[in-house]
């Protein structure tokens, strides 16, 4: 029996030394929902699975014959820059209030 998607997410996230909040934010979900996915208590859509794979930038075995390749390093860096820009905008907005 192959490893579940949720367990693969957690294993790859921890191996990449990534926090649950950062991966969740990159995928557009809450850390709580990602926790449910990792615990196999939630079944994410294929679109969300793709977002999680891109956020962690790794290879997942979906079944015995299919693999989804990671995005390029360039794309991962672009996602990080975008994430940091969003955080800076939110911080500026809070200061204005």
Q: What is the pLDDT of residues 14-30, one digit of tens each?
A: 988 999 999 999 999 99
The count of domains in the chain is 1
Q: State which residues form the domain around 42.
A: 5-96
With a cut of 70, say whether residue 58 has pLDDT above it. Answer: no
pLDDT at 65: 40
Q: For residue 88, give the CATH number of its domain.
A: 1.10.260.40
DSSP secondary structure letters along 4-66: PHHHHHHHHHHHTT--HHHHHHHHTS-HHHHHHHHTTSS---HHHHHHHHHHHT--EEEETTE
At 31-49, the pLDDT tens digits run: 999 999 999 999 899 899 9
Beta bridge mates, 61:
67
């Amino acid at each position: 029996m192959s490893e579940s998607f949720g367990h693969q997410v957690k294993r790859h996230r921890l191996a990449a030394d990534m926090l649950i909040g950062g991966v969740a934010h990159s995928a557009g979900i809450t850390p709580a929902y990602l926790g449910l996915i990792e615990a196999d208590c939630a079944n994410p859509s294929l679109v969300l699975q793709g977002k999680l794979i891109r956020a962690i930038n790794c290879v997942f075995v979906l079944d015995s014959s299919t693999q989804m390749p990671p995005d390029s390093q360039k794309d991962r860096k672009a996602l990080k820059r975008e994430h940091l820009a969003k955080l800076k905008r939110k911080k500026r907005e809070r200061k204005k209030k």
